[in-house]
Chains A and B, each alone.
Chain A
Amino acid sequence: MTSNTTRWALAGAATVTVLGAGRVMARRRRRHQPERKDGWYVVHRGITVDRPVDAVIGFWTDRERLDRGLAEWATLEQLDDTRWRCVAGDPAGGGTEWRAEITVDGPGRLSWRVTDGPVAQQGRVELVPAPQDRGTEIRAELRWRSGPVRRALGLTTGTDPDLGLRDALRRIKSLIEAGQMIETRHDPSGRSPEQEEATDKMREKLATGGRP
């Protein structure tokens, strides 16, 4: 009888612990989740570029430099004075293509809308002078939706477009400041092809979503 009571007590304690741990984890997870607004996921990300606002705008309007910077992952086509069409590959590979329409809203302000892609997405960018002669703050807001089924199954953690945004900001900063993105993937090593492949996967993880 005693042992049965002990067993029930232990089972109860275990249940409470599991539920408690689950709640704590859920709360932590929520804290890392993007904000929800009108059915959209919304994130704000910013990066500081050590150049005056005019120079940053100059980068966007210098077609040759922009093309060189975007070469590997996107093409741009001008539609009219304020609108551009952008076709970009999924940076993670997989052959996914994005088509977006970019609109210049004013000096140092532009917005974009994905017209054809796996996830409905829109965003805007604003350039603000940074304090203390620190250059320009590029402030971006990104909104995206995911399908109701994926959301119901909890398959959408909702972080992927966010990681993409952070990567894009880091890339832009590096292209403006250093004229290139640094890359160590092809540096020599004593690895076999299999080891190299595993290392490249790890590199990808360490490169994705990071900020300086």
Chain B
Amino acid sequence: MRALCWEGVRKLAVRDVPEPSIRAARDIIVKVRASSVCGSDLHLINGFLPAMREGDILGHEFMGEVVETGPDVQRLKVGDRVVVGSVVACGGCWYCRTEQYSLCDNSNPQPVFTEKLWGHAPAGILGYSHAAGGYAGSHAEYIRVPFGDVGAFTVPDGVPDDSVVFASDAMPTGWMAADFCGLKGGEVVAVWGAGGVGQMAARAAQILGAERVVVIDRLPERLRTAADRLGVETINYAETDVLEALREMTAGRGPDACIEAVGMESHDVGPVYAYDKAKQTARLTTDRPTSVRQAIMACRKGGTVSIVGVYGGLVDKFPLGAAMNKALVLRMGQMHAQRYIPMLLDRIAIGEIDPGYLATHPMSLEDGARGYEIFEKKEDGCLRTVLHPQPA
């Protein structure tokens, strides 16, 4: 079959690879119909998470059709149209039992890397390097999904592939970001990043009761899309002093909750950003936390900072003093896909959330490398490239 493989830092190519097969009784094989690029893939492609091997298949946000099931799979059958959570979870450990699926104890077969780096190994993630278990990804015609009954969910009829694909990762990540904020109704929520996850977080915050949602980015077209689609307020940080603007909008209080949906290759303007970028390029630090710093500084006293942008290692100049003295609540984590997906599919089915507009650039798998380039450089108003591995 054809698959989009990582061939080295900033090098992708479509290769002929063997087809996956059922390896364990709870596996399923999914014929991939839509597989989205994700901002966190860029950290892997660009070599900031150094656990990729030449030939690894990328992709973790996808949907498709079940074509084979292992003997212990009960909830799914061949022919089911499913969306699959990016995070692999066994369904049987304490973390899974308490719906903290991205912390699953049994789904990372290669736990030594993250155990050394982070103290413990969280769950495996499909197509997400050897730190996350070394699973083959979804930018391929077929993918093996372990624990199929736990990770794959049948999709309501009538919802297009390119819409429901975002229930795999961008939507649950955004929803969890808003969920972390503990909204009770009437809050002001600021969201850093107007990409797929940021926009879904903004929509989730609205549904969960926020009175005002402010989205921050530097790309006018993304901000315009967010304003048009979701009715949020926007700040362009390239033109406006974000901290001043947020303070002004909230009459001095600051947002009640700040969501960071950017991650370790965050952008900013000014000399501190240039310094961070130089250090990161020289691998003297692993992560650029520009937007996290800003979120902490902007957040009201006693408010919540919710981080769902991906970070991998160490950051510089983390304003711990601000967080401590303002008594902030910091919440963060990889999303617990399996906990949110069924609820999100219901909301898509009744039209409460329509993520389809994120798929600005549908493409064939063969154009995958170009698809990532457009996505990374945000060319042509690209929000998300969605790859279609099946021949038309």
Q: With an 8 A cutoff between CB atoms, is B112 at the interface?
A: yes
Q: Kindly identify, within residues 71 to 95 of chain A, every residue whose CB is under 8 Å from any CB belonging to chain B.
A: none
* B140 A188 Cβ-Cβ under 8 A: yes
How near does chain B come to A185, taking the closest CB pair, in angstroms? 8
* A189 B105 Cβ-Cβ under 8 A: no
18 more A-B residue pairs beyond the given contacts A186-B23, A188-B20, A190-B13, with a C-beta to C-beta distance below 8 A: A50-B92, A50-B93, A173-B93, A179-B26, A181-B109, A182-B109, A184-B136, A186-B21, A188-B3, A189-B57, A190-B7, A190-B17, A190-B56, A191-B54, A202-B130, A203-B110, A207-B110, A210-B115
Q: With an 8 A cutoff between CB atoms, is B5 at the interface?
A: yes
Given A179-B26, A203-B134, check contact A174 B90 (CB 8 Å). yes
Q: With an 8 A cutoff between CB atoms, is B175 at the interface?
A: no
- Count chain A residues whose beta carbon lies closer than 8 angstroms to a beta carbon of B: 35
Task: A211 to B144: give the CA distance in the assembly, Å.
Answer: 24
Task: A188 to B97: give the CA distance in the assembly, Å.
Answer: 30
* B135 A50 Cβ-Cβ under 8 A: no
- Chain A minimum-CB-distance residue to B122: A212
CB < 8 Å: which of A135, A181, A195, A211 contacts B111?
A211
- Chain B minimum-CB-distance residue to A177: B92
* A134 B94 Cβ-Cβ under 8 A: yes
How near does chain B come to A25, taking the closest CB pair, in angstroms? 18
Q: With an 8 A cutoff between CB atoms, is A208 at the interface?
A: yes
* B57 A212 Cβ-Cβ under 8 A: no
Q: With an 8 A cutoff between CB atoms, is B24 at the interface?
A: yes
CB < 8 Å: which of A134, A170, A184 contacts B133?
A184
Q: With an 8 A cutoff between CB atoms, is A206 at the interface?
A: yes
Given A207-B112, A212-B105, check contact A187 B20 (CB 8 Å). yes
Q: Top 8 nearest A-B pairs by Cβ distance? A: A191-B55, A210-B111, A190-B5, A206-B110, A190-B15, A178-B90, A212-B105, A187-B136
CB < 8 Å: which of B21, B94, B106, B140 contacts A178?
B106
Task: A62 to B92: give the CA distance in the assembly, Å.
Answer: 19
Q: With an 8 A cutoff between CB atoms, is A17 at the interface?
A: no
Q: With an 8 A cutoff between CB atoms, is A209 at the interface?
A: yes
Given A182-B133, A202-B130, A212-B121, check contact A190 B57 (CB 8 Å). yes
